[in-house]
Every structure is written in structure tokens, then in C-alpha cells.
Structure 1
Amino acid sequence: MANLSKGSLAALVALVVGALCLLLETTLPWLVSYPTAWTVPATDWVGTSMEWVLLLIKPTARVFSALMAYPMEAANWVLGSSPWILVICSVAALAWLLGGLPMTLMVIVGLGFVVASGYWHKGMNTLSLVAVSVPLALFVGGAIGVLANECPRIRKPVQALLDVMQTVPTFAYLAPLLVLFGFGPVVGLIASAIYAAPPMARNVLLGLERVESEIKEAAIMAGGTRLQQLFQVEIPSAATQIMVGVNQSLMAALSMVIIASIIGGFDDIGWEVLLTMRKVWFGPSLMAGMVIVIFAVIIDRMSATLAQDNRRFYDARVAWGILFFGIVASVLFSSSLPDPSGYAMFEDMAVSLDKGLSAFTIANGDWLAALKNNAMFYGLLPLRIGLDQAVLPFTWGFQWTPQMSFWLFAFGAVLGLVLALRGQVAWGVMALIFIGMLETGITNLPWPFVLVGAAALSWVASGRGLAVLSVVLLSTILVSGLWAPAMLSLYLSGAAVFACIVLGGGIGLLCSVFPIAWKIVRPVCDMLQTIPMFVFLIPVLMVFQIGEFSAFLAIILYAIVPIIRYSQHGLTETPDEMIEAATASGATTWQILRDVRAPYAAPTILLGLNQTILYAFAMLVITALVGTTGLGQLIYKSIGQADVGLGISAGAAMAILALIADRMVQGFAEERRKVLGL
């Protein structure tokens, strides 16, 4: 044991615990299935406690809600009443200042599509929500970031709170918001502001922490007060990083518009997408979704320009000319132009798309069904319930037998022994564990094995503290009776993350080897990154209808971008001196990639994996709308029933899974950075 590495020892402990649980399954069934009698009514306790707290602050919340209705109505009136020509020219003028002709053309073409689609007024209702929620989020997030910077004692608690806010699914806090603020557009506004505040807080804190000490010392020597130092020196010095926070907050608020429509009942684009999807009108749903994508792309490009260090502003006279043209055109032509809601130039296209899609699915129904069924029967289903339950005459054409299990484990034992003899003990044990998990299925794993396995991984990644925290947090899910839906969520998100690693890592590798491939893939990644998460459901539902496979594909589409970006970036940023040394020693291109670039890129790739995991958990709750089970379904159910306890408990369970995964990956990334001396 003394010669075993930390990873080998952790893997062996997990293997022994898992083997004992399976061997004792018949005599001690509680080792595999946690008894219902041992659970506590945590959901009811949380609901009762929260109802008492919410009742206390409800009057204040309702007053705040009434006050926020005024700026909401004002923004809605300004954007809705202004002639569309004036709005387009105003945005185009700002686009010229920030990005010149290319950005101006993007704005004109994009907003022109919105006008022509007939969704102008609904689009303006959506933007009015963003226009009010974002300043609120920027103010709250900025204040939190400044406070955490000024009070070092609360910095860690604030960062922990931001981590929790980042990992708690957006749906989870909709039920308490409904109780506090009632039903209507304002509650959607507040939900958007809550979701958009953490990115601003993080970037303000990060920007202030990165202000160079020489700049701070110069401000002190100049005799400025602390407020003068902060607002006249440090915040301007951190402006670039703070603008990154503004960009992320804008995108976060826009991504919430459809979710906000669920509880807001607002006649905006989010409600239009939700309504058309429920009616299975995929053509109109796609058109409405394109409006959100256009808004997202325009807002992202314009705000991202402000976050650049080398930004420059174009000729202001041209911008004033565009704005003047908009004012003149509004005065001369706005009364003679019909209401933009009546344009609907793409209505026939939407109908044709619906008909074409129906014809396509009917004509190709066999191979589409085969693709979905093969993915389910040979991939997702065995991963969920194990080979011994998934391999049936109906699915694989034969019945799984105990003899097959014996030979599968025998193969795993031989593979593990071979790897151990080659000095890779940890990988050998993990291979055997993986085969055991494949035979059993993630949702059927014994709960002691999951607890010990999570503790072992946490211990290897970040030490005893994270191991204890993981066991404690997972135990709260266990005793609260949410273990089964949590394992379902873990299975689906884990399968999607694995697919993202294989596909995204492969694409990132390809782009690092062939720069021309990155020129093609990069704009696709940019587009995917600006699309609000709800919109990803539309194309998969159009082809594969409601079901687990559609949810699986939607999660991949949303979560794959970080692993592609970080893999490509990590593999191409290896220092030149390391490449030159490897080349001088006679290494081939493949050897350089495997032995130099990949190890150096590991921390960066792990950071991308971390983001992919968080994206997968975030999207998992959205996919509850298309019929998936697990914690996401419970959270969605809590909104319909206004069950605060269920929503918070299920949301907390989802956050726990995401938080543990986040801390583990960060731990492994930090370890790799230390090994590389970074």
C-alpha cells in the first residue's frame, strides 16, 4: 500500500466498496437501494421554512414589484411606440461607432429581418425586459463585486454565493419568485436580473483584483481618499474586465427571456416561442427563435467590442448622419407605413418549413427512428440501467445472462492486470470500475459506492476538505429522498458531457492541427455561444420529437462549444521554446502533439471541461420541457404547483451535483498547473 499512488489507492477503495455492495446485494438489499424509511421529509421542511420567510418579506417584495412595473412600462412604451425606422437607425448609428460598416450592415440586416417577420412589437417587448433587468443586474452585481473587494473577510463567502447562484438552475428560484412577486412580466424581469447579476459581480471582483499594485500605490501617494482611489483610479483601470461582465450579463438576461415568459405571461418573443412549440408549429417557432438569435448576436458583438483593450471608435459624423436620417424618415414616412406586426413576410416560409419538415420526417421516418432507437438501445439505455437490464431480445436481439456478466468482469480483470503490470495501477482499477458501472447502470449504482467514489475522486483532486464536503452534500440528497432523480440527472448530463468530450475534443484537436478548420469552426462556435439555451430545443424537436434522445442532443449542442474552444486554444498556445526543443530532439508531429502540446494544454482543456459540465447541468433543466425525467422535471413540476419546497430542494440537489463536479475539475486543473510550474 505504501508504494501505491494517491490515485491508485482511491480507485482501489472505490472498487472494494462497489464489489462488496454487489456481493451482499441479496442479503443486504439496503446497500444497493436506499430504504424509503430512512429518508426525511426535507422537501416539506424546506417548503414550510421558506413559506414562513417568504410570508415575512412578501409585502416588501410586492412594493418592489409595483415600483419596477413603472420602468418596465416606460421602456416598453418607448421601444414599442418609437417608429421602427428610428429604432433601427439609432442602433445602426451606435454600431457604426463601435464596429464600422460591417457591424452597421449586421444591425440593418438583422433588425430588418425582425421587421419583415412581423415580430417587431413582440421583439421590442423582449428588449424592454432586457433594458430594465440588465441595469438592475449590473448595479447589484457591481455593488457585490466592489463590496467583496473592499472587505476581504467576506470575499470567500461572496465567491461561494456566486458559485451557488451559477450552479442553481434558473427554474429552481421561479417558484419562490412567484410566491413573492406574483404572476406577470415583473417577476420575469426580476428572474432575469437574478440570473444576470453573478457574471457582473465576478468580473468586477476579478478586474479590481488584477489592478496592478503600482497603480494603487500611485493613487495612495497622490493623497486621494479611498472612494477617490476606487472610483477614479481602480475601476477605470479595471474597465476592460468590467465590460466583459456587462457583455456576459446582457447575454445571460437575454437567455432568460423564454424562461421568464413561462411565469410572466408577457406578449413577447419568449412567449411566442413557447406557445408555438407547445402547438408543435415548428416553422413559426423557428422564426421566432431566429429573432432571439438576432438580438443575441447584435448585443453580443456590440458589447464585446467595448470589452476589447484596443477598441477604437469610428467617425462620429457618420453616426450622427445615420441617426439624422432615421429621424427624418420617421417624420416623413412613419405615418404612411403599415403596422410592422402586419408584415409577416416569412409566414409562407414558416408554413412551408412546417410542411417540408412533416414531409421529410414521413419520408425518412425509418432511418430517423433507427438512429434514435440505436442511440437509445445501444448507448443511453445501457448507461442508464446497465447491460443486464438493457440487453433484451427486443433491443439487442438476445438476452443478457449471468455467464455474460462473468466473462465481462473477467475481461475487465485481465485488462486491469495488464495495465497494472505496465505500472498504470490506477487506470487498471478504473477500467474494472468502469466495466462494473456499465454492467450495473448509473441509476442502479449502490449508494455507498457513489459516496465513496465521489469522496475518492474529490480526495485525489483537491484533498480531504473536498472529499468531506462531497460526502456531506451528497448525503443530503440521499436522505431527502431525491437520490433516484439525482442519478437520472447525473446519467443524462454525464452521457452528454462524455459525447461533448469525444466530439468537441476531436474537433478542437482537428482545428489545432489544421488552421483552416478553425476558420470554419470558429464562426459556428460564435453562433452557438450566442444562441439562448431554449432555442436549441427547436431543431432537435423538429426532427426527433419529444423524448430523452432529443434532450441529449440539445444538451450537446449547448455544451459542446467550451470544450472545442479550450481544446483548440490549449493545443495551439504551447510555448515556442518547448516545440523547438522537441523538434530538435527528433520528435515527429504526432509525438510533439501527444507528449508536448497535450500535457501543456491539460489545464486549459480541463477548464473547458468544467464549463461544459456547468452548461450541461444548466441545459438539463430546460430539457425537462421535452419530457426528460430527473431533478429537472421535479423543478419544472414545482412551478406548475407553486411548490416552493420541491423547487428549492430539487434545485439545491442539482446545484450540489454541479458544484462537486466543478470543484473536482478545478482541483485536477490546479494540480496540472502546479506540475507544469504555471
Structure 2
Amino acid sequence: MAECNRVDARMCNVRTTKNDMTRIDLRLAAWLGVLALSVASFGLREDVKWLTQWPRKLSIPVGDWIDVTVDWMAEHLSGLFAAIAWTVDQPLLGMRVVFAWLPWPVLIGAIVLLAYYCGGWRLALLSLMSLLYMVVVGYWEPAMLTLSMVAIAVPLSVIIGLLLGIISYSYRPVWRVVEPILDVMQAMPAFAYLVPMLLWFGLTPMLAVLTSAIYAIPPMTRTVVLGFSRVPVEAVEAAVMSGSTRAQILWWVRFPMSMPTMLLGLNQTIMAAFALVVFASIVGGKADIGYEVLLHLRKSQFGEALLSGIVITLFAILADRISRGYAQRRSISLGRRGQGYRKQLVIAVIVAIALTVIAQFVPLLRVYPEAWVVYPADALNDAVRWFTIEFFEVTKWIKQKALFFMLFPVRGGLEHSVRPHVWGIEFSSTVTWVYVGLMAVLIAAATRSWGWRGAMTVIFLGGLYYYGTTGTPWPVFIAVVTLLAWQVGGWRIGVFSLLGWSFMLLTGIWEPAMLSVYLCGAAVLVCFLLGTTLGIFAAVDDRFSAIIRPINDTLQTIPLFVFLIPVLMVFLHGDFSAFVAIIMYAIVPAIRYTEHGIRNVPPEIVEAARSFGTTRAQRLFQVELPLALPEIMLGLNQVVVFALAMLIVSSLLGTHDLGQKIYEALTRVETGKGLVAGFGIALVAMIADRIIQAWATRRKQELGLT
């Protein structure tokens, strides 16, 4: 009997092995088919022009349809839009009057007291120094105008997001509809929101408030649904057994127990609203701090732009730290400290009222004297001018090497990149054959190390570097990405990828989409390699981690606009400046996820490896990194999302990608073109997200980490 069982087990193993081999053969056959399609497409691309340029006559005029719809809404729903505008504009005007009337010491004191309550004396000191900087450099009034817009936008987002989250959780069919809409809203570039809103509501500060409120809804909605779903079943069952109604369970059980999660959503909502308020200064700003930055950037006044950019950065840091501190504080019991804080609050209110009364008779407390303003813009401009002259050759060398050895080949291929003054040679057939030989060596090495998957990866990446994204026929690109999506995440993700890229082809935005892929892809590659390396160092060295953690916090808090200032100062306009700005903003997730993944490898596995006498390097590269790889790939996912977000802002640097199309549509009020380009960016982000998430989930399951 036992012998029969052993035979059955062996037969089962044989059948499993055959099934695995069949699956591998089918996957390899699919890639060989795509490889054959690629060879045919590249061979015919010179004769068959539509392989690289989709005929305009065959494009679907989705943008025109959107224009017609938006124009109809603007004409027939003007009364509704006017009512919405008036409803939002009145609180905004009132908030501006309040902030203008309150003496600056009172506002500073209130914010410092709030910071002390949420984060202790260190956060209070940071708040005091930050706010005093705004006063001393003369940016207090623009800062308060920005704060008034945020103060109206955030409550709107919270109320709408809270109601939408409650409805979505209570009625699952609603959530199935709302969830993909939230995905698109979060992936949609901020500029794209402004295009239809500009046509409906006009060029007013209220436009920034309303657009920011809509943009910041998804984080609040998601955290409400997530918080409710995490409430223990036992707590709900106990409430049901006590005779509670559905509404009582919602407000007395789910809502209080979900508060910590929802407060984290509040933090994300504040940051999203603040970011878009700064964005909206492009069209609806008037004397606020975002408008100041944009005005000085357009005039190439880098000293002034830097001073106003620091104000935005400090505001963002304070908003993040205070809201996060409040969320953490509400997550724990306050104990007896509540009485002491109530007494301090009463005292603070009395002092504020006294200062407000005194300020009516003391001009210094009402308006900071202009003679006391310290505005070192001229000195900063002189410093920038000196740096530009002294280090011109260095920055020129860095820019030239990066453009001709990396960016230009990825964009247009080696044929348009190999130049004698950089490469030292002319492009010729000899260069092509040398490249083919080098690729053959790399393919052989990849095959030996990683099998046919490694070989296919080298083949397609090598072809991309040789022909560039703009020189790659669209059937090849769509086939490669769709097959990758299908094999990694299943047929649903494969179909979604096929439909997404087909939309970009058929709507006429394929070329700017490929320019977006080139610029984003190159920046993501650098972010991933450099960020992973820094994350490894942070994981193995606590001192390095302590140094880099506050840098990461600051980089992730800084609004996207501000990254353009130092880049423009050093490298001026162009693709390379956008490339650097994207790296600066998008590198943080790669560092954080790598460190988190390595530090959270199960300690028993690390101890087992140590017991076998492995060295620190062996444990890192043979145990910790392989187990941390799914987490690292999730970091790559966030890098892609961050890079695409920064890509839109980088359109101000003169790029020619989808971000530039959105910016052009915004300046010309071409709603259809702007939304189609914005939806294209959203599709790229969502496709990358689905593929990477699917791979990371499957890998975790294979490693037994889920």
C-alpha cells in the first residue's frame, strides 16, 4: 500500500512538472512570436510609415467630443456653476478678511500652540521659526492668501470624501463604481483638473479652491472605506446583540474605531489640497504665494523664486507635521493631560483677544514694518550668477554626457545620438555591428544567469536603446507591454494594457506618450538604481538611516513646483532639467521601500542564515534582498507614480511630452485635448501600477510572505 502511494506521488510530480514545462513553453512561444513581430515591424518601418506614425485620418476625435460636451454644459448649466461659484466664493472672501484682520502675532501664536499640542516643543519651535521667516522676508500676506484657500478647500474635501466613503462602504455596488473612478482621479495629472474648471468657473481664486477640493477627495474616501473595513467583527457583533440599529453601529462603533485611519487620510487630503492650490496659481492665482513663485520663475528671477519657494516648502512641512501629529495623538489615550491643555487653551484665547485689541492701537502688531523686511534676493541672484559662470563647464559636461549617452538614445535611438564631439565617432555600420556583438555577449550572459526571461529582457531593452521610444513601431511596443501584463497579472491586466495603449494610439497622442515614456523611464531607472543603493546602506547602517530619513521627509513634503527652482538655476530649460527634477522628487520611495523591505525580513530566517556561518554580505545578497524584492518592487511602483506627477510640472521647463500637451491646453482652454492627454498619463500610471502590484503579490505568495 505504501509502495502504491509512493508511485502515485511520483506520478503526480511528473504530471505537475509536465504542466509547468508546458506553461513555460507557451510563455516562451508567446515571446518568440512578439520577437518575430518586432523583426518584421523594424524591417518594414521605413516603407510602411503607419507603423511609426498613426494616420491622422484614422484617429478618433475624442477631444472634439469632450469639447462639445463641456461647451454644452457651460452654456446650459451656467446657472448651476454660478451658484456653486458663489457658494464657495463667499466663505473664501470671509476667510481672507479674517486672516487680513487678525494681527500677525496672534496667527503665529495660534499655529505655534496648535503645533505644540500636536507634536511637542520641537514642532512648536519649527512652526515659530518658519512663520517668522514668512514675516521677515515680506511674504506674510501672500502666505495668508494661500492659507485661506487651503482652509476652505480641505473642509470641502473632507465632507465630500467622508460622505462618499460612508455610502461606498454601506453599499458595495456603489464602491465597485467609485473605486475605479478614484483610481483615475488619483492618477490624473493636477493640470488636467484645471482645464474644464477654467471654462466653467472662470479665472478667479475660487477656481483654485474648488479644483483643489475635488482633487483631494480620493484620499479621504479611501481611508474611510479602509478604516470601516478594519473594524473588528467582534465589536460589530456585540453592537448588533445589544440591539443597535445600522445607523448607531455606523456612528457609535465604526466611526470612533476608524478615527486613527481617517485622520491619516486627513493628512493626505491636506497635502493634496495644498499641492493643487499652488498649482492653480498658474490660472487662478492672484498675489498668493504660488503666484509669486510662478511670476519669478517666468522672469528667471531665481533669488526671488527661491525665497518664495522656501515659504511654500515650510508651509507644506508644517501642514504635514501638524496633521500627522494630530492623527498620532488621537490614536492614543490622552489620560490626565486633557485638563492641562484645556487650561492652556483658555489662557491662549485670553492672550489672543488682548493682542487683537492692543493691535488696533499699535501698528507694529497689525502690520509688520516694511523697513524691517529682510529680502536678500539680490545677493542670491549674484550667488547664482557666480555659480553659473564658475561651474559652467562642469554643468555643461554633466548635461551633455547625460543627454547624448542616455536620454537621446532612449528617445530617438543611437542613430540620432552618436556624435563625434561627444562619442568620438560617427554613426556607421561598424558601430551597429559592434553594438550587435556587445548585445550578443550580454544575451548569452543573461541566458546563463536567468534563462530565456533574461535573454528576452536584454533583447528588448537593447532594441529600445538602439531605436529609441519614438523610433519603435507601435505594434512592437503595445505587444511587449501587453504580453508582459498578461503573463505577470493575468488576462484582465493584459486586456487593460492593450486597451490603454490603443486609446493613446487611436486618439493621436502616441508620440507625446512615447516622449513621456522616454523621459519618465530614464528617470525611473536612475531613481531605482540609486534609491535602492541608498536604501541598502540605510538598512545596514543605523547612522546613515538617521541622516537620510529627515532628507527623505523633506523631499517628499516639498511641493512639486519648488523642485524647478534649483534645477532652472543650474541647468536652465530643457529635457535634462526635467530629468533631474523628476529624479529629485521620485527617488524617495525607492529609498524608503528598500530599507523597509530589508529591515522587515523575518528575523528567524536571518538567524538561520547566520547559524550557517554566512557573512554579512552573503546574508544581504542571498537572503535579505531576495526576500525584500517584492517590497522593493512596490517602491518602484511608487517611483513611477511620482515620476509621472513630476513630469506634468516639468512641462514648464519646455518638454514636449503629454505634460506639455496639458499645459498648452490649459493656456488655450482646449478642454478636450487637455483631458485626453491627462487620461493618457493616468493610463500609463495605472498600467504600470497593475503590472508591478501583480508581480509583487505573486512573488510574496511564492516566498510565503502573505
Shorter-chain TM band: over 0.9
Query: What is the alpha-carbon distance in structure 2 between the residues aligned to residue 411 and residue 442 of structure 1?
Result: 21
* Letter paired with 1:310: I
| Aligned equivalent of 1:142 | 162
* Letter paired with 1:328: A
| Aligned equivalent of 1:39 | 59
Give the SS at the match of 1:243: helix
Of 133-142 and 593-602, more deviation after overlay is shown by 593-602
Listed as ranges, the matches of 1:347-496 within 5 Å are 347-422=374-449, 424-496=451-523
| Aligned equivalent of 2:327 | 307
Residues 539 and 595 in structure 2, CA contact (< 8 A), matched pair in contact too: yes
* Letter paired with 2:184: V
Of 372-381 and 419-428, more deviation after overlay is shown by 419-428
C-alpha spacing 1:92/1:391, structure 2 compared with 1 (3 Å): same
Question: Cα offset for 1:346?
Answer: 6.0
Residues 586 and 643 in structure 2, CA contact (< 8 A), matched pair in contact too: yes
Q: 1:503 aligns with which of 530, 544, 557?
A: 530
Question: Cα offset for 1:385?
Answer: 0.7
* Letter paired with 1:476: F
Question: Cα offset for 1:595?
Answer: 2.3
Give unpaired runs (5+ residues) of structure 1. none
* Letter paired with 1:612: V
Query: What is the alpha-carbon distance in structure 1 between the residues aligned to residue 508 and residue 401 of structure 2?
Result: 33
| Aligned equivalent of 2:3 | none
Give unpaired runs (5+ residues) of structure 2. 1-20
Say whether 1:88 aligns with 2:108: yes
Residues 193 and 215 in structure 2, CA contact (< 8 A), matched pair in contact too: no
Residues 409 and 435 in structure 1, CA contact (< 8 A), matched pair in contact too: no
Q: 1:98 aligns with which of 104, 107, 118?
A: 118
Query: What is the alpha-carbon distance in structure 2 between the residues aligned to residue 341 and residue 438 of structure 1?
Result: 58
Question: Cα offset for 1:603?
Answer: 2.2
Say whether 1:545 aligns with 2:572: yes
Question: Cα offset for 1:57?
Answer: 3.0
Give the SS at the match of 2:22: coil
Q: Deviations over 1:231-268 (max 9, x none)?
A: 11101101111000000010111111221111213221
Query: What is the alpha-carbon distance in structure 2 between the residues aligned to residue 518 and residue 625 of structure 1?
Result: 34
Q: How many residues matched?
A: 678
C-alpha spacing 1:177/1:280, structure 2 compared with 1 (3 Å): same
Listed as ranges, the matches of 1:609-624 within 5 Å are 609-624=636-651
Q: Percent identity?
A: 37
Q: 1:18 aligns with which of 38, 60, 77?
A: 38
C-alpha spacing 1:422/1:97, structure 2 compared with 1 (3 Å): closer
Query: What is the alpha-carbon distance in structure 1 between the residues aligned to residue 612 and residue 401 of structure 2?
Result: 47
Listed as ranges, the matches of 1:187-586 within 5 Å are 187-308=207-328, 309-310=331-332, 312=334, 315-316=340-341, 317-333=343-359, 335-338=361-364, 340=367, 342-343=369-370, 347-422=374-449, 424-586=451-613
Residues 7 and 426 in structure 1, CA contact (< 8 A), matched pair in contact too: no
Q: More relative contact order in 1 or in 2 (CA 8 Å, sep 6+)?
A: 1
Question: Cα offset for 1:36?
Answer: 3.2
Residues 567 and 608 in structure 1, CA contact (< 8 A), matched pair in contact too: yes
Give the SS at the match of 1:442: coil
TM-score (norm 2): 0.93
C-alpha spacing 1:125/1:512, structure 2 compared with 1 (3 Å): same
Give the SS at the match of 2:470: helix
Q: Deviations over 1:438-462 (max 9, x none)?
A: 1101121110011101111111221
Give the SS at the match of 2:282: helix
Listed as ranges, the matches of 1:62-73 within 5 Å are 62-73=82-93
Query: What is the alpha-carbon distance in structure 1 between the residues aligned to residue 95 and residue 123 of structure 2?
Result: 25
Q: Deviations over 1:71-109 (max 9, x none)?
A: 001111111210011111111222222222212212211
Q: Deviations over 1:452-480 (max 9, x none)?
A: 01111111221111111111121111011
Residues 383 and 441 in structure 1, CA contact (< 8 A), matched pair in contact too: yes
Query: What is the alpha-carbon distance in structure 2 between the residues aligned to residue 498 and residue 253 of structure 1?
Result: 29
Question: Cα offset for 1:501?
Answer: 0.2
| Aligned equivalent of 2:195 | 175
C-alpha spacing 1:264/1:504, structure 2 compared with 1 (3 Å): same
Q: 2:621 aligns with which of 594, 611, 623?
A: 594
* Letter paired with 2:240: I
* Letter paired with 1:400: F
Question: Cα offset for 1:326?
Answer: 3.7
C-alpha spacing 1:177/1:522, structure 2 compared with 1 (3 Å): same
RMSD, matched Cα: 1.9
| Aligned equivalent of 1:121 | 141
Q: Deviations over 1:39-74 (max 9, x none)?
A: 233322322233224433332112110111110011
Poorly superposed stretches of 4+, deviation over 6 Å: none
TM-score (norm 1): 0.96
Give the SS at the match of 1:498: helix
Give the SS at the match of 1:256: helix
Q: 1:631 aligns with which of 654, 658, 661?
A: 658
Say whether 1:653 aligns with 2:680: yes
Query: What is the alpha-carbon distance in structure 1 between the residues aligned to residue 217 and residue 76 of structure 2?
Result: 24
Larger Rg computed on CA atoms: 2
